[in-house]
Chain A
Amino acid sequence: MAEELTGAVEHAASRRAVLTAATLVAGGIIVGGVGAPAVGSGSRLGDAEILNFALEMEELQAALYEQALQHAGLTGELAQYARVVGAHERAHIAFLRQTLGSRAKPAPAFDFGDAVTDPDRFAAAARVLEDLGVAALDGQAANLTRPSLAAVATIVSVEARHAAWIRDLVGELPAPTPSNPAEGAARVLAAIRRTGFVKGAS
């Protein structure tokens, strides 16, 4: 499953990702039936949709780290990675929830299976979700208003650092391409669904 997801992300490495008029589906729930604003002309509605999309990615990552730290018997640098990165994801959630205020969507329920009980499965899942998180944020950046873009940019490079760190830990090249791939919302959501981690979304 991880390989399939990775393939889906890397397949689209060169695609210029934009949020199309396709609805933004998160956790199997349609959160944005309204067409996204055109590239370069962000709006508050577009920002809220995109920040909620980012929020769900962060919730997914934070829950993975929290549950793995409890149940996977992580040791050494992998445990350090999960602690440090988990704390970052929680800080991102707090920031996004504060920014969104009453527009913030509740976190969906997750089921990580053996990705939170087996260290190797955890590392593989973390690598996929971190690469996906960077691609997802970069894919939406041009749709954000400039103030929101400035805020999201402080998060996206941290996600890229996480991705490089976990890739190094699992023996993969931390920076595989000169241009980090961006990914459109539809493909990101399909990739999330394929993990089976989000309940009700598969």
Chain B
Amino acid sequence: MSDNLERLDRDGALAESLGPLAPSTRRTVLRTLAAAGLIGSAAALAGAGAADAATEPHGDVAILNYALTLEYLQSAFYTEVERIGALTGETARMARIVGAHERAHVRMLQGVLGSKAVAGPTFDFHGATDSEDAFVRTAVAFEDLGVAAYKGQAPRIASPAYLAAALAIHANEARHAAWIRRIAGIVPAQSAFDQPATAAHVVQVVNSTHFIAGRTQAAGMPGFTG
């Protein structure tokens, strides 16, 4: 089983993105994803959305609300780490600038969605904002996950204007990911092709962290739970 997982996760990006999780949680997530056929290189070029259409958000509003929920998570994470003040030097600078970007993404998506915007959940980061080391590991995982999440949804967005906005955020998240990876001392661009992630994968990873303390739900979008 673990041999199969290693083969599926060839460049280690997935295992690495799950790094902050407890080993037992990580194993469970990887097993579940592998069993569901959600990880593997084939999904990348064929359009990941088609792979498990049943669990993906349907329609632009649901997709943007899914993105908004991820932005709420990132935004709250950076805002809290800045408030607690555990970071220094370049890491503190990164958190301050990237936090402002994530808050701007929240405002962008809320502006586009108007009254259809899902409300922000409450969060509990379980110590990930209390120390520089925990912050860096979590930020690497969530920036890489954010890139993969936007990439998984972009081909499924119908409106050209929404697509352009999503891609502008997607590339910005990739810059964040490269920046925090360099701070963490790992290669900023780990492979020639960044793989997409399905919403099912992203929701499962987010839920396994238990960072979302209060439930958020909107019609037609995947369920994040506490």
A residues adjacent to B (C-beta < 8 A): 16-17, 39-40, 84-85, 87-88, 91-92, 95, 134, 138, 141-142, 146-147, 149-151, 153-165, 168, 173-175, 177-182
Using A161-B177, A165-B178 as known contacts, say yes or no to A156 and B44 having CB atoms under 8 A apart.
no
* Interchain CB contact (< 8 A) of A138 among B98, B158, B167, B189: B167
CB distance from A85 to the nearest CB of B (A): 7
Using A157-B174, A175-B97 as known contacts, say yes or no to A180 and B47 having CB atoms under 8 A apart.
no
B98 touches A175 (CB 8 A): yes
Given contacts A141-B154, A153-B194, 16 further A-B contacts (CB under 8 A): A16-B161, A40-B158, A92-B192, A150-B196, A151-B44, A151-B45, A153-B151, A156-B167, A156-B174, A157-B173, A161-B188, A163-B175, A168-B179, A175-B101, A178-B101, A182-B168
SS class, residues of chain B in contact with chain A:
helix
Q: Does B100 contact A (CB under 8 A)?
A: yes
- Complex CA gap A168/B94 in Å reads 11
B172 touches A161 (CB 8 A): no
Q: Which residues of A contact B164 (CB under 8 A)?
A: 16-17, 138, 141-142, 182
- Complex CA gap A149/B49 in Å reads 12
Q: Which residues of A contact B194 (CB under 8 A)?
A: 153-154, 157-158, 161
B160 touches A138 (CB 8 A): no
- Complex CA gap A17/B97 in Å reads 25
Which of A87, A141, A151, A181 counts the most B-chain CB atoms under 10 A from its CB? A141
- Complex CA gap A48/B158 in Å reads 21
Q: Does B19 contact A (CB under 8 A)?
A: no
Using A149-B154, A179-B165 as known contacts, say yes or no to A156 and B47 having CB atoms under 8 A apart.
no
A174 touches B195 (CB 8 A): no
- Complex CA gap A180/B178 in Å reads 14
B168 touches A88 (CB 8 A): no
A174 touches B178 (CB 8 A): yes
CB distance from B142 to the nearest CB of A (A): 15
A158 touches B175 (CB 8 A): no
- Complex CA gap A142/B171 in Å reads 15
Q: Does B187 contact A (CB under 8 A)?
A: yes
